[in-house]
Structure 1
């Protein structure tokens, strides 16, 4: 055997880099597109609402703005699970409307009541989900209910800080904290991932 046959064939850095690069299949690309599609559609709807009318021009410009915002501005990826439970979505919306209606009458009564306004508090609620999307929906849902508003979000530790009325005692604070977790559970059961759903079921089963 000659020396030339024993000599290993050198590998160029470029070919080695190409070999080590992870390959992304077409199915994975399609999955990412479908995951981001609800976010893009939401931005298009928001754009049309801001303009006050739905037209082909608004939809087209809204889509272009949505692409620009999601590509140019750095934002954490919005991981959408892709699962949807219609029944629990209806349950969440029904309870949300009921909460808004009841809280509106309660806040109006407190505003007209000559007695002092009940004690307000700032409370921290440790969520069980690890989804930014679910955390955002929970914060929006609670902030839209009169009498409570999110003042800070600790994304790394999944903690929401609320300013809320009617928390005179420690029991009132715990009741408010439990209500936030109930809303979180409704959202997870409606659109959350399988991991978040299992985490919710596990924590509720151990109570």
Structure 2
């Protein structure tokens, strides 16, 4: 029953608990799928054996090493996904060629740097996905993650000066933007497109 003038009835405690349980189950299924995908990406080969191994490893991780709950409040956007995959393949090929050139260039010793990049949408899911994508690209490696401040500490290869550091930060924030455009909520999408991070780190 609804009281006069109150509109729709408020959800009961049981209904809220059911919604919370359904939300947790949904998040676990999404995390499970991402773990299986990452396992196959690490092996670099989508085979039945790697798929089965990923299913078993992902299940073991979620059962024996439970992570803090990561809430997924966004939605999958097909256009964003296609753009993300296309740009990722291009960057993967370009970075692989760059690292290969450095490896075979006689007498060349590349300079490296560790930069701190503050993300504009510092959610747990955003931090994790951005870190995973960066780790898959040759020449970049996640050194540390400051979860509270939303900062990624990234090792970058072949740095010649401040311009390269600025370009690396811009590239990392572009990865974050493409991830949010793929699976982020409308609020996160507005935030990543409008927010500016003025504070830089050495």
TM-score by length of 2: 0.75
For 1:93 and 1:45, locate their aligned partners in 2 and report how far apart those are by CA, in whole Å: 14
For 2:40 and 2:130, locate their aligned partners in 1 and report how far apart those are by CA, in whole Å: 24
2:22 counterpart residue number? 30
Matched, 1:175 2:167: yes
2:180 counterpart residue number? 188
Q: Is the 8 A contact 2:74 2:186 kept in 1?
A: no
Matched, 1:141 2:133: yes
Question: How many residues align structurally?
Answer: 178
1:159 counterpart residue number? 151
CA distance 1:45–1:109, shift in 2 (3 Å): closer
**Which blocks of at least 5 consecutive residues in structure 2 are unaligned?**
1-12
Q: CA deviation at 1:167?
A: 1.4
Q: CA deviation at 1:82?
A: 4.2
Q: Is the 8 A contact 1:35 1:81 kept in 2?
A: no
For 1:45 and 1:200, locate their aligned partners in 2 and report how far apart those are by CA, in whole Å: 25
Matched, 1:199 2:184: no
CA distance 1:47–1:130, shift in 2 (3 Å): closer
Q: Is the 8 A contact 1:43 1:62 kept in 2?
A: no
SS of 1:160's partner is: strand
1:101 counterpart residue number? 93
Tell which structure's C-alpha radius of gyration is larger.
1
SS of 1:151's partner is: strand
For 2:35 and 2:163, locate their aligned partners in 1 and report how far apart those are by CA, in whole Å: 40
Task: Specify which of 48, 56, 60 is matched with residue 62 of structure 1.
Answer: 56
For 1:103 and 1:46, locate their aligned partners in 2 and report how far apart those are by CA, in whole Å: 19
For 2:34 and 2:79, locate their aligned partners in 1 and report how far apart those are by CA, in whole Å: 22
Q: Per-residue CA shift, 1:59-112, capped at 9, x if unaligned?
A: 9x839x72x643553421122224000111111111111001011111111111
For 1:150 and 1:188, locate their aligned partners in 2 and report how far apart those are by CA, in whole Å: 19
Q: Per-residue CA shift, 1:158-203, capped at 9, x if unaligned?
A: 1111111121110110000000000000000100123321211222
For 1:146 and 1:48, locate their aligned partners in 2 and report how far apart those are by CA, in whole Å: 17
**Which blocks of at least 5 consecutive residues in structure 1 are unaligned?**
1-21
For 2:94 and 2:33, locate their aligned partners in 1 and report how far apart those are by CA, in whole Å: 31
2:115 counterpart residue number? 123
TM-score by length of 1: 0.74
